[in-house]
Structure 1
Amino acid sequence: MSIDKEENSTHQSHVVDQTSRMETRNGVAQYLPDIDTDVFIVGAGVTGLTVAALLAAAGVRAYTIAKHSGTAPSPRAHVTNQRTMEVFRDMGIEEAVRQVSTPLPLLGNGVICTSLTGLELGRYSCYGAGPHQLSDFAQASPSEMVNSPQHVLEQVLLTHAREKGAKINFSHELVGIEQSESGVVGKVRERQTGARYTVRAKYAIGADGGRSLVAERFGFGFEGQPGLMNMLTSWLEADVTEYTAYRPSCIYMIAQPGNAFWVGSGTLVAVKPYTEWLLNRQYNSEAEIDTSDDAVIAYARKTLGIPNLKIKVKDTSRWQVNNVYATENCRGRIFLAGDAAHRHPPASGLGSNTCVQDAYNLAWKLALVVSNKADSSLLESYNQERQPIAKQIVGHAIQTLYNFAKVPEALGFQQGQSIEEGYKSLEDLFSDVPGAEQRRTLLREAIDLQNRRSNALGLHLGQRYTDSSAIVDDGTPFPEHRRDPVLNYEPTTHPGAYLPHAWIEVKTRRMSTLDILEHGHFGLIIGIGGDPFINAAEAVGHELGVKLPVYKLGYRCPYDDVLGEWHAARGELGDQGALLVRPDRHIAWRTTSRPDDPEDALRRALRHVLGLDLRREQQLE
């Protein structure tokens, strides 16, 4: 999620946790037993639940708290992109997420209109639903984008985390935290009873959202602009099937005369097509806003253009749009992840996706470090890799807001103009009066810009780690982008890139190259001439105590490239080369041909990634 809530919701419909420990004596709160663990996770939203599940699956002792009484009380974030679905696929919960979601191609229109019953101003295809997009999205990933409202997504994550053995306590609030050279000490209060206890851990993760206490206590620096605009979100039950089903969309962007806000008069976001919605609207912070159900219903009817629409208000909340990212994602033993590290507009749907991907990057590194299979310097790569991504996605999200502001500008809408003036401008726009054709060209250009909001395939899948101690550079540059890198994904096997997806066959079963990798472990991909790497991987894995399975991938290999898709995606990698793939599926090392001593080359690469050479240097000193 990428919004910073200003106040609690006025309605409650979330799952409340019932496992919080309570201990009082004569009505006086007592101190509870201290907790000793490896990783202390503060926050149990999308970020905290994901990292808790991943650490539990890896056998890491972790303890998670959240001050809230349960999972998210309202939909909030909703767009879940293909990269995040790939993470869920690896975690074994992709189908569970799909069961509570709507496939986004089924909502594959971007609709801009004056109201649901008014004039449609523009429409474009998105989320891979358009004929010209089908192949790009399908070829890029084995997973499909879905609309997964946060209140149901978090329930899936919570169930999975607890099934893996994660310890998660809601209504437990962090009241103080310190770190030393040897560890982290957190002070926690049970909100229901006032009882207090101490958590001692080796590391701590601040996954506590846009007003992160962890970030504040440790003085993390931030860049950007907070409080860009004030927003009101209403969660509504309203059957508008008649006005939406023929042009199914995840978001209906409503632009009306007299309103030149960045988000127009509001955005209608599908929660459950076509009967449950979020209505987002911007408001002037200098004016009072009525958040009563009656006021919300009146505004919704006016904005949607349906005067007698039957509406039930399930939740209303105020929040602010921010344009902020942390200048560093770790300080000593403290890590920031998710909204605690990057706070940006929800436009382009990058919030919860980046939260999951932060967790996916950090969890395996912590697992190796706490098990003493990697040096603690490996953890520095989390900041090296994810902080530039945070900066990138924050900048992209704010740009998409500016891009939408061009729509009312092209329509001739201005703040303070009369309704009559605004509709006269529209009448002229869609007529044959002098200059109208040029204005329609400007409108078309403004609508085309919305593709960068809803069709940013390259941004979603093309993340590259270019300056990381957990990547072994092979001395070659990343391939130059041939097309727009925001809209188009161009797979590569260059170190630092994500492993390309390709459909292959394994004993008559179709699989993705992403599916063959074992969850939570490194993998070595070789080709037809890579047999010497098999014994090398066994020896190096045994020596370093790291599981390192080998996958022979190519024409008529055990992992059979029957369609030639892997051959097309692997780029410079030859049949005698090899790829060392990290647990988060980013490529750690590549040799395009077979080295003279495969075992030594592989050993050097894996030791570099794990930071073991640095540990040896420190021991020698």
Structure 2
Amino acid sequence: MTMLEERPGTVHGGAVRTLLRMRVREGCEDRFEDAWREAAAQIAAVPGNLKQELLRDGDDPRTFLIAADWADRAAVDAFGRSSAREMLTEALRDLREDADRSTFDLLYGVTGGEQASHVRIDIATRVGEGEGEAFERAYAVVTDRLRGTPGLIREELLHEAGTDLYHIFAEWETEQDFRNWVDDPSHADQTGPIIRWLSVFFDRKVFEIRFRPPEAGVARVNAEPAAVPAAPAAPAVVEPEPVRVPEPRPQPVVQAPPTPSPNGVVRTAKASEVLVVGAGPTGLTAAIELARRGIAVRVIDKRPEPSTQADKAIGIHCRTMEIWEDMGIVTEAMDAGTWLHGQTVFVNGTQTHQVDWSGLDELPYAHLGLPQYETERLLGAHLASLGIEVERGVELRGFQQDDDGVTAQLEYPGGTAGTARAQYLVGADGASSAVRAGLGLTFEGGLSMFPQLFMLGDVDVDWDMPPGHLLRWVRIEEGGDFTGMLVCVPLKGRNRYRIATLAPERLQKTIGSGVVPPGFWKEYDPPGLEDLQAVIDDLGPAGTTASNLRWASIFRIKHGIVDRYRVGRVFVAGDAAHLHPPAGGQGMNTGIQDAWNLSWKLALAVRGAASPSLLDSYEAERRPAGKAIVDRAVAIAFTDEMDMEDEKAQFLLEMQMTMNYAGSPLVGEVTGLDGFSGGPAPGYRAPDVLGLRRFGVQHDVRLFDLTHGTHTTLLLTADATTPKSQIMEMEALASSIREATGGQVHPYLIACAAAKVPPLVDLPVLRDCHGAFAAAYGLGGETGSAAYVVRPDGHVGFRTRPVTESALRAHLAGVFAS
């Protein structure tokens, strides 16, 4: 093992590193390496070159990284004009598909001996504006703590000048050495000062070092940090586990069928159009939405009984409440839950934030407190009302997929084997997903782990705190180490709270170094009331007493997001696709939205009414949303949480009201000179509007009365300048689109009070008497017609002003089969 040298730290002034990433043409890998070796010999003689390395991506043998250290930027610039650079470019030009280069300032480094190295770990992270100096100081503390780490040869901090991007470039003897360090929680006190920056934006790649020519010119960089007093050790650390991310594999996945039961009984296949594996909130939502659309859906769950314990999510986000209104269960949810309408935050004993969410006009509903077992009860009952019962005690043992569908191997209670055939399979089977494992999906950058233990408890607390407020106390040491956390979420009842905090020190010291599986991992006896009381005494208000402990648990957790959400006819959603820290119910609500997004698309595909690319949009839309939410949930776990200047914007983001699919290939717009003055852009949630009037209805109509349901909605508009002839043309267009999509699109005309509308037969008319729709959807001024397409999931798919028929039809062709 390499032991780090204990010698005074220095900062190498002016040194820089260039990183050239190249994707090599298939079959040219060996020629590429030979060409680089020849060119590298010439580059080594260039003044100012310190060293070079050729690295190969351990997961992708066609991706290489050329790393070079230079004395300063002048040396890099001189090389860029040299014949050696031209030689390298010429030698590699015909062998590569693409390339990109970055130049970094070399800031700090920890260097070991001269042993042969095997792998490089490249960890990229971003820091917030104005936080660069704080991050570098914190990293200097970390480098001091890293000395003596077995297997670590050197580690360097690089900064891309003029950006907020940093790289931690570490060299280890073997990847296993790095893996051992990650899995051993005893390293928890080493990286505490920089954990909050690694949580918000994180990316990692593992490279094999293929060749390192003799170094020439100036001796190799030996940059180490200046001596910095060590900060107190931190028990709270997130460390990623390196899991390799393979190339996409579109081929069907095959698993061996289960062993037949001892009595030889094998159930015959039961056909369905979609098989949903897992009956948590994600799977139940998927099944409900498919059943609403008339799809033959089957739901299995290996748990013999539904959940009855409060060990999972509590909060129901505002956007989820809006979804539940469409589904028809929002009233039952409100009756069963309690409103969460504020948040109070304390940092190091001082109140830093108190915000009330109850007065936000943008919210259709407030934040609801509802235990996950109640959520599953409501969703399960609603699914049963649609004629679908969850098959419990049935476990997925394997599956194969072909061009026409998926065949699943099942095990029933008592060990009886069986099969099920479906057109599609949805894996909503949680953190230990059998579907994810069967597809061979891996977590991007690996699974990150909180090595410390957490504990949860359901208690009564006698403090005088704002009712309905989420309460949070954190302690952050001067050096940046996170050493205390207490989060209390109101439950239904008087002064009843769910408490989440770190487990007692006596248990933290007993953490083993074995492999921890994804998600929540319970391996200790639950804590007692005295353990929870000790944390309240340490962090909470003086004199507070906890009582009536109903339930408690201790666990560890890993979190991350998979590389893909779909392989062929099989999909993953919810915790099978992304794992979250226990912060704010993000995991459950995100999983519900996964199912909400996927199900309407899957239903069209089952009926043969979907465009060829529609199902691809599920991953394109939900994976970026999932990654952003995982990153945010990790950041919340290790900060004072209220870290945005605009607390209103932060809350809307937390409640997923501003989550959008603006980058999706499935959304778009076409506008003329006037365009839209505001309103929801393509990919954003389509807001409700009050005060519409429809002939024959004696009360105001909501816009959601038109858009709610399983259909797509086409909203055509007319103002006082819209000629009658154009309104007649819009009626003909609406009729044609309705027919072309098999009734999947419901068109309406929203006309202002002054619009002159002729008698129409095939286009229902509503009046925007008070201009509320025009204001909400960016139709200020009298500039003629416009159109919005609102998808079944309530997001804007397309908009155009003026109405452009060709563009509108082109958009719909990307959704519906022609």
TM-score range for the pair, normalised by the shorter chain length: 0.7 to 0.9
CA distance in 2, matches of 1:390, 1:30: 42
Which structure has more helix as a fraction of its residues?
A: 1
Per-residue CA deviations over 1:33-72 (Å, capped at 9, x if unaligned) read: 3211111111111100101111111110111111123333
Give the deviation of 1:149 after TM superposition.
1.6
2:176 aligned partner: none
Contact 1:579 / 1:587 at 8 angstroms: preserved in 2? yes
CA distance in 2, matches of 1:260, 1:166: 52
CA distance in 2, matches of 1:220, 1:113: 39
CA distance in 2, matches of 1:38, 1:517: 26
Residue 604 of structure 1 aligns to a residue whose secondary structure is helix
Q: CA 1:204 to 1:376, structure 2 compared with 1: closer, same or farther past 3 Å?
A: farther
Contact 2:317 / 2:655 at 8 angstroms: preserved in 1? no
Moved more, 509-518 or 328-337: 509-518
Query: Which residue of 603, 606, 610 corresponds with 2:809?
Result: 603
CA distance in 2, matches of 1:308, 1:540: 65
Amino acid across the alignment from 1:36: A
The alignment yields a C-alpha RMSD, in angstroms, of 3.4
Per-residue CA deviations over 1:94-129 (Å, capped at 9, x if unaligned) read: 111111111222xx1324378xxxx66344114x23
Q: Please tell me whether residue 463 in structure 1 is matched to residue 659 in structure 2.
A: yes
CA distance in 2, matches of 1:453, 1:197: 50
1:544 aligned partner: 741
Query: Which residue of 39, 47, 51 corresponds with 2:286?
Result: 51
TM value normalised by structure 2: 0.58
Give the deviation of 1:218 after TM superposition.
0.7
Residue 378 of structure 1 aligns to a residue whose secondary structure is coil
Alignment of 1:214-613 (within 5 A): 214-224=435-445, 225-238=447-460, 240=461, 242-244=462-464, 246-253=466-473, 255=475, 262=482, 264-283=484-503, 287-288=509-510, 292=525, 295-305=527-537, 309-322=546-559, 324-404=560-640, 451=647, 455-457=651-653, 460-474=656-670, 492-506=679-693, 507-528=697-718, 529=722, 530-556=727-753, 558-571=765-778, 575-595=784-804, 598=805, 602-610=808-816, 612=818
CA distance in 1, matches of 2:568, 2:708: 30
Give the deviation of 1:512 after TM superposition.
3.7
Contact 1:183 / 1:201 at 8 angstroms: preserved in 2? yes
CA distance in 1, matches of 2:502, 2:478: 14
Contact 2:274 / 2:422 at 8 angstroms: preserved in 1? yes
CA distance in 2, matches of 1:491, 1:27: 66
Give the deviation of 1:223 after TM superposition.
1.3
1:22 aligned partner: none
Query: Which residue of 407, 410, 435 corresponds with 1:185?
Result: 407
Give the deviation of 1:385 after TM superposition.
1.0
CA distance in 2, matches of 1:296, 1:516: 52
CA distance in 2, matches of 1:298, 1:231: 17
1:424 aligned partner: none
CA distance in 2, matches of 1:272, 1:219: 41
CA distance in 2, matches of 1:292, 1:354: 30
Residue 420 of structure 2 aligns to a residue whose secondary structure is strand
Query: Which residue of 176, 181, 202 corresponds with 2:398?
Result: 176
CA distance in 2, matches of 1:94, 1:475: 37
Moved more, 257-266 or 53-62: 257-266
Contact 1:38 / 1:201 at 8 angstroms: preserved in 2? yes
Contact 1:470 / 1:610 at 8 angstroms: preserved in 2? no
CA distance in 1, matches of 2:295, 2:561: 29
Residue 266 of structure 1 aligns to a residue whose secondary structure is strand
Amino acid across the alignment from 1:58: R
Residue 243 of structure 1 aligns to a residue whose secondary structure is coil
CA distance in 2, matches of 1:148, 1:229: 28
CA distance in 2, matches of 1:104, 1:247: 9
Contact 2:395 / 2:411 at 8 angstroms: preserved in 1? yes
CA distance in 2, matches of 1:399, 1:193: 44
1:66 aligned partner: 301
Q: CA 1:540 to 1:309, structure 2 compared with 1: closer, same or farther past 3 Å?
A: closer
Q: CA 1:570 to 1:267, structure 2 compared with 1: closer, same or farther past 3 Å?
A: same
1:110 aligned partner: 344
Query: Which residue of 135, 158, 164 corresponds with 2:380?
Result: 158
2:11 aligned partner: none
Residue 638 of structure 2 aligns to a residue whose secondary structure is helix
Moved more, 252-261 or 490-499: 252-261
TM value normalised by structure 1: 0.75
CA distance in 1, matches of 2:524, 2:662: 47
CA distance in 2, matches of 1:178, 1:330: 14
Residue 33 of structure 1 aligns to a residue whose secondary structure is strand
Contact 2:689 / 2:772 at 8 angstroms: preserved in 1? yes
Which structure has more strand as a fraction of its residues?
A: 2
Q: CA 1:531 to 1:503, structure 2 compared with 1: closer, same or farther past 3 Å?
A: farther
Contact 1:53 / 1:162 at 8 angstroms: preserved in 2? no
Q: CA 1:453 to 1:213, structure 2 compared with 1: closer, same or farther past 3 Å?
A: farther
Of all paired residues, the percent bearing the same amino acid is: 26
Amino acid across the alignment from 1:47: T
The runs of 5 or more residues in structure 2 that have no matched partner are 1-260, 512-522, 538-542, 756-764
Q: CA 1:509 to 1:345, structure 2 compared with 1: closer, same or farther past 3 Å?
A: farther
Give the deviation of 1:449 after TM superposition.
6.9
CA distance in 1, matches of 2:550, 2:304: 21
Q: CA 1:321 to 1:124, structure 2 compared with 1: closer, same or farther past 3 Å?
A: farther
Higher relative contact order (CA 8 A, sep 6+): 1
Contact 1:103 / 1:144 at 8 angstroms: preserved in 2? yes
CA distance in 1, matches of 2:653, 2:476: 30
Residue 502 of structure 1 aligns to a residue whose secondary structure is coil
Query: Which residue of 113, 121, 125 corresponds with 2:355?
Result: 125
Residue 484 of structure 2 aligns to a residue whose secondary structure is coil
Q: CA 1:569 to 1:308, structure 2 compared with 1: closer, same or farther past 3 Å?
A: closer
Q: Please tell me whether residue 34 in structure 1 is matched to residue 256 in structure 2.
A: no
Contact 1:259 / 1:265 at 8 angstroms: preserved in 2? no
Give the deviation of 1:510 after TM superposition.
4.1
Residue 750 of structure 2 aligns to a residue whose secondary structure is strand
Amino acid across the alignment from 1:497: Y
* Number of aligned residues: 516
CA distance in 2, matches of 1:470, 1:187: 34
Contact 1:245 / 1:274 at 8 angstroms: preserved in 2? no
Moved more, 295-304 or 157-166: 295-304
Contact 2:299 / 2:390 at 8 angstroms: preserved in 1? yes
Give the deviation of 1:209 after TM superposition.
1.3
Contact 2:672 / 2:801 at 8 angstroms: preserved in 1? no
Q: CA 1:253 to 1:152, structure 2 compared with 1: closer, same or farther past 3 Å?
A: farther
Per-residue CA deviations over 1:376-399 (Å, capped at 9, x if unaligned) read: 421111111111111211122222
Contact 1:207 / 1:339 at 8 angstroms: preserved in 2? yes
